[in-house]
Amino acid sequence: MVDSLISIAVEKLNTILQDEVALFASVTNDIKKLSSTFELIQAMLEDAESQRLKKNKEVTIWLEKIKDVAYDVDDIIDEWTTSEALRSQATDEGDVSCFSKNNVRSFLSPVTCFNHVMLRHRIGSRIREARGRLDDIAKDMNQLGLSVSVGERVRMDSQVRQNENRKRETSSLVDRLSIVGREDDKNKILDLLLSESSQEVTEVPFVISIVGMGGLGKTSLAKLVYNDDKLKEGRFHKKMWVCVSENFDVKQITKLMIESATGSAPDCESLDQLQRRLYEFLHSKRFLLVLDDIWSEDRRMWDELRLPFQAGAVGSRIIITTRSENVAKAMGSTRTCKLKVLSDDECWSLFSGEALEHRSKTERSELEEIGRKIVKKCQGVPLAAKTIGSAMQSRRTRSQWELVLESEIWNLADVMEGILPALLLSYYDLPPALKQCFAYCSIFPKDWEIKKDKIVKLWVAQGFISSDTSKEMEEIGGLYFDDLLKRSLLQDAGMDDDGKIFKCKMHDLVHDLAQFVSGNDCSIMKITQGAMLNLNKVHHSSLTFTGSAFQVTSIPSTFYKVHKLRTLLIFPESELSIYLALRLLNMSEMEKARSCSVLHNLFHHLRCLRALEIGGAKISRLPGTVRQLKQLRYLDLSYSMIDELPEELIDCINLQSLILNFCRFLKRLPREMRKLISLRHLELRRTPELEYLPKGIGRLTSLQTLTEFIVGGNDGCELGELKHLNLLRGSLRITQLQKAMSSQDDAMQADLYKKAELHTLILSYEYGEVVGDEEKRRAEVVLQGLQPHTNLKVLKIWRYRGSKFPDWMGDPSFSNLISVELSDCTECEELPPLWNLPTLRKLGVYGCPLLKERYKEGGDDRHKIAHISDLVVV
């Protein structure tokens, strides 16, 4: 972890050195020496990490000092780059900078010049102070007896090598190929679920426990059973899967059971209402429930949870997974399946499937002997075998494998707080950038679904992803995510409709590893906890809450003292239930004032924040002190009650991601949003009250995500604002198209045909009951001008009132288009020639009466579209 922090600091120092015009000569010299000392220390880190694992307190303290300096240097550089960005923006806006590139000083703005010179002096002083601290730390290396490692370390390049990445064959449910040695256990449990003798047991519920130490595959076995084809034959009327983890909250578990069974969150909150709802739902039904990863031994909690189960029919079954036999007893287990460790041959099967994939027969033969010795050290734990096997993929030679076999880490199991040596070895095999990204994942609670898109944005916000001229940072971050999956440090990958991985989880033991290597850097706590952790050394923190919307007044005052906090994530355990709760809530003026006051104080103290999420919060506005968060890169206010954003937000010039999904009361964005020049992602899903997008959005040329573009309004955007946003990717919905200007040239100004990464396009009109001929003509002209790029995959047109579709629809050049949806296009009489599209496999025509007559089952032109596999005309 320290290694990655130093790597980031050195990279930024070298970057700032390239702008010597903006620095004093003495500062340049200090930066060079600071960078050199960091690199000297970095050469000692392998030995230092080894000593830390052996509980050498002096070395541990030494590493903490280095970490503090690295963070401080990062803050200094960020302050400098922010000031330069503000100066550049002032120049663009017509102000005069102190220095031009040819070092000619302008005296037209003396205040600006004076402030900039003072800032340079202050930053120079802070760099000298940091250099002095680091020099003192470096002097301690000899006293600690640290040395440069002469052992061979096999590292990947700092950028993940694309050509060695292979696509994982995983399922959001279970990866059957990754499970070995559990066939007998699976059949035993299936027999308990399905055999006639088992069905005669009248006890409800009949509880089967899967018990075993961490990493043995309890959850994988339960998934294997849960998804077995034999259970798809109607034996159970309802199946439910709930991950319990360490917090046995009866109300929350009941809510999750209802969600799992019905596919939607319940609209009630009290335990009595929830249990009655579940009781009614299970009444006279035979159900299968899996309660995964239970820790609580409190029998009373189980007795309370099981009350609704009595409504189930005879033959209902519950499977629990747990590490403790005491938990199994407390849960009233009828049968217990105790998992044993795997045999060496079974572990070898897992290990070799990862480590020896794509190797020649000669290589396999040469490495098998050493590999089997490594497998023995995994002690029959499948997680250990699979993870260390993944790490061995990048080690190509026998000598490299011998280094792993002879590592001291195998002998440190008794001092590593329960961390499996194989997992720690896998961590040390990571390049510095991936180490930082992996450790950061510990900020999420155990069993949390980690969304790929979100974690990558957070990595970018923290500066973990190096910029690359050939790739966007988000693309590199996506490769990092995929590589952690490939190495089995992330698991349970979930796929979207396009077969792309969009979420994952961390195994409990891997989460323990991430917390171990992050040290004091990351903290997780529930908002209801009474005892607060010591946050003095914390840089990243998350708070979770259950139940109704979050009151910001509940933020512990302890956080006001954590001045160097870089991440604060406050989010609900269930996003959907919070959204439902917010629909029923209102805020008094007193509540609004109190919440604003709390945030005012919070922002005043936490000026180093890079990432802030206040999901599901009862807040209607942000205070003006948000402008003090100069380093803020990521702001997520989703599911909050916010109705407008303050103009002061535009001073957060580093802001990259502004996420406002499900803010159902949001009406306005800052008028000067065009000044947020670093903005890369603006998410506005389900914000029905938002009136318009401010003019000037088109100047935010770094935008990659813009989920909603609202046309027109007094202060709103015209379609031409989209012209230069050619980095847009993913999905874009353009609404209020009836307000667009009538000229086809005006619509063409959007240049949608240049946006090659835009894969989903939704074009939406909002007409009144009566639509005149002129409006219909204008609708046709505008739609004709909005021709997208031929890479488009999904096209949706809603409430269009033209009498014909544009010429470009149905053009064979749209060879990637797989889905078209036409909804409420009441004036159109004929479909465009969609039958010319070679890849089109889904067509939905809804509420289009003139089209329905021609293309419905038995209609005159049905034969033209009959080849489309997924066809709906209603």
Model confidence pLDDT, tens digit, residues 700-754 = 999 999 999 999 867 789 999 999 999 999 999 999 999 887 666 778 899 999 9
Helices and strands per DSSP (H, E), number in the chain: 27, 23
Indicate whether 99 pLDDT > 70.
no
Q: Which residue has the higher pLDDT, 119 or 325?
A: 325
Sequence-separated (6 or more) residues with CB below 8 Å from residue 721:
693, 695, 696, 697, 698, 709
- Helix/strand/coil for 830: coil
Q: Whole-angstrom Cα distance, residue 437 to residue 8?
A: 12
* Average pLDDT, integer, range 236-261: 88
Q: Whole-angstrom Cα distance, residue 866 to residue 536?
A: 67
> Using 50, 70 and 90 to split pLDDT, how confident is the model at 92?
low
3-state SS record for 474-520: HHHHHHHHHHHHHCCCCEEEEECCCCCEEEEECCHHHHHHHHHHHCC
Residues of the chain with pLDDT > 70, as a percent, come to 87
Tell me how far apart the terminal alpha carbons of the chain are, to the nearest angstrom. 58
- What are the residues facing 820 on neighbouring strands? 795, 843
- What is the DSSP secondary structure assignment for residue 360, as one 8-state letter? -
Burial class (CB in 10 A: 0-12, 13-18, 19+), 137: middle
Indicate whether 385 pLDDT > 70.
yes
Q: In the prediction, which pLDDT does 558 show?
A: 79
* Average pLDDT, integer, range 331-355: 93
Q: How many residues does the chain have?
A: 874
Residue 232 region by backbone torsions, left for phi larger than 0, else alpha for psi between -120 and 50, else beta: alpha
Q: Which residue has the higher pLDDT, 171 or 542?
A: 542
> Using 50, 70 and 90 to split pLDDT, how confident is the model at 267?
confident
Indicate whether 763 pLDDT > 50.
yes
Mean pLDDT (the chain, rounded): 85
Nearest to 789 by CA among 806, 813, 810: 813
Q: Whole-angstrom Cα distance, residue 181 to residue 340?
A: 10
Q: Give whichever of 190-199, 537-546, 785-794 has the largest mean pLDDT.
A: 785-794
Nearest to 429 by CA among 407, 462, 448: 407
Q: pTM (2 decimals)?
A: 0.87
Name the packing angle between helices 57-92 and 25-42 (round to 10°): 140
Residue type, 240: M
Sheet containing strand 238-245, strands side by side = 238-245, 287-294, 317-322, 206-211, 335-338
Q: In the prediction, which pLDDT does 586 show?
A: 73
Name the packing angle between helices 271-282 and 250-262 (round to 10°): 40
Q: In the prediction, which pLDDT does 141 show?
A: 84
Nearest to 293 by CA among 505, 543, 49: 505
Indicate whether 441 pLDDT > 80.
yes
Strand pairing category for 450-451 and 501-505 = antiparallel
736 alpha carbon, distance to own chain's centre: 31
Residue 55 region by backbone torsions, left for phi larger than 0, else alpha for psi between -120 and 50, else beta: left
Q: Which two tokens stand for residue 299?
A: 């029998």
Q: In the prediction, which pLDDT does 408 show?
A: 85
- Helix/strand/coil for 811: coil
- Helix/strand/coil for 199: helix
Indicate whether 578 pLDDT > 90.
no
575 alpha carbon, distance to own chain's centre: 14
Q: Whole-angstrom Cα distance, residue 166 to residue 134?
A: 41
Q: Give whichever of 406-415, 425-434, 729-738 has the largest mean pLDDT.
A: 729-738
CA distances from 396 to 87, 154, 358, 367, 400 (A): 50, 9, 11, 9, 7
> Using 50, 70 and 90 to split pLDDT, how confident is the model at 759?
very high
Q: Which two tokens stand for residue 459?
A: 């990595």
Q: Whole-angstrom Cα distance, residue 218 to residue 121?
A: 60
- Say if residues 717 and 741 touch (Cβ distance below 8 Å): no
Burial class (CB in 10 A: 0-12, 13-18, 19+), 813: exposed
Provide the sign of the torsion angle of the four alpha carbons 783, 786, 792, 794, taken in this order.
Answer: negative
- Helix/strand/coil for 571: strand
- What are the residues facing 524 on neighbouring strands? 542
- Say if residues 586 and 274 touch (Cβ distance below 8 Å): no
- Helix/strand/coil for 169: coil
Indicate whether 522 pLDDT > 70.
yes
CA distances from 217 to 336, 341, 422, 639 (A): 15, 10, 16, 36
pLDDT in tens, 274-302: 999 999 999 999 999 999 999 988 899 99
Instruction: Produce one character per residue of 293-310: b if its CB has 16 or more CB atoms within 10 Å, e if not.
Output: bbbbbeeebbeebbebbe
Sequence-separated (6 or more) residues with CB below 8 Å from residue 799:
764, 765, 766, 767, 823, 824, 825
Helix residue spans in 573-679 (DSSP H): 575-582, 589-605
Nearest to 206 by CA among 218, 194, 216: 194
Indicate whether 263 pLDDT > 50.
yes
167 alpha carbon, distance to own chain's centre: 20
